[in-house]
Amino acid sequence: MAPKHSNGQTTSNTMFERKMAQVRLSPVGIAVILVFLLAGVLYIHRKVSANRSVDSTDAKYDSAEGTVPQSINLRELLSTAIVVARRGGDIVKEIRLANTLDEKSKGETREGANNPVTEGDMKSHIAMYYGLKKAFPNLKVISEEHDSGVDTTGVETPNKELPEVSNAIGTDDYVPIEKIAVWIDPLDATQEYTENLVQYVTTMVCVAVDGQPVMGVIHKPFEDKTAWAWVGKGASGYKLPPTKPDSAAKNIIVSRSHSGDVEKVVKESFGEQSTVIPAGGAGYKVWSLFDEIADAYVHVTLIKKWDICAGNALLNHQNGIMTDLEGQKIDYSATSDPKNEFGLLATLHDHNTYLKNLRPAYEALKKS
């Protein structure tokens, strides 16, 4: 048995304690431990950050694990969309009133109509496109117009907190930026704009998430009216009209430039008592459904998605429907073709009935 000291501890235990007391960590050992601790803290921070919604100006990137998805506050994006639509509208109105259109032609449409572009189109594009990009630098924005070498120093960053939005919608939603595509039309109804038929002119912004239109803004600059909607959240500037009796004669709004072909389709589909209303601008035509001017909006040829996306969102919020004439919903993904080839039907009520009635005449038109 090992000898004991007066305190009861064995001699061997005392020797062990003396040896342990002599052990010291070297500076290199301390550094290694600190490195491991720091790595652990950074790993935890990175995981937390990956799951936290961040503003568009605070995107984080991880070289080891790839890009952490950048998220955008949709309520802020809606405010921004409203601001830029109104800014574009102010420019469009100012140029039209000053009669400084500087009209040019982009060529002809597939149907042979002139496709004009004006100073109003281009300056509105700059204000709207770069306003959105200044607010959300990495946002995918698809515009009807294109530019090169533009000085954007005069484009102010839009207000992201409009009271009319924050008062109507109390919650924020965050969506990864790669899911979002914004479609803008800096001047819808350019042909009518050149003819001074300004009642048809609008500026439009649409936010699509996973290809579906969830926010729409249509602004009428010459009436200073704005309609906007966030599907399922709230809306302003327009409302759902009462339902008409099924027996009532149908009022169908169509493009001024294609009214002949469409009138034939409408009369064959809904009877001679139906009324065809020629009008300019897709934004105006969708708005007319809410103003009780028309019961349905029909287009029988190709139409671009920046013309119809905002109206599609407004309809969606009010449980209306927009499809092509094949009955298919329209994909607004950033990578999708901007051309919607198979016509258009927009309604607030009885969409499938309209679609069924239109099908035979539409199929005959395609074959002609």
Show which residues are catalytic.
Answer: 121, 190
> Token digits for 258?
């294609």
Facing residues of 65 across strands?
Answer: none
Contact of 147 with 140, CB cutoff 8 Å: no
> Token digits for 347?
């309604």
Contact of 32 with 39, CB cutoff 8 Å: no
> Token digits for 257?
């430039």
> Token digits for 339?
């051309």
Distance CA 111, CA 294 (A): 25
Using DSSP bridges, classify how beta strands 212-220 and 202-209 pair: parallel, antiparallel or unpaired.
antiparallel
> Residue 163: which residues within 8 A CB-CB, separation 6 or more?
none
End-to-end CA distance of the chain: 113
Cα–Cα separations (whole angstroms), residue 247 to 192, 243, 250, 322: 34, 12, 9, 23
Contact of 209 with 333, CB cutoff 8 Å: no
Distance CA 167, CA 312 (A): 24
**Helix pair angle (351-367, 259-270), 10° resolution:** 120
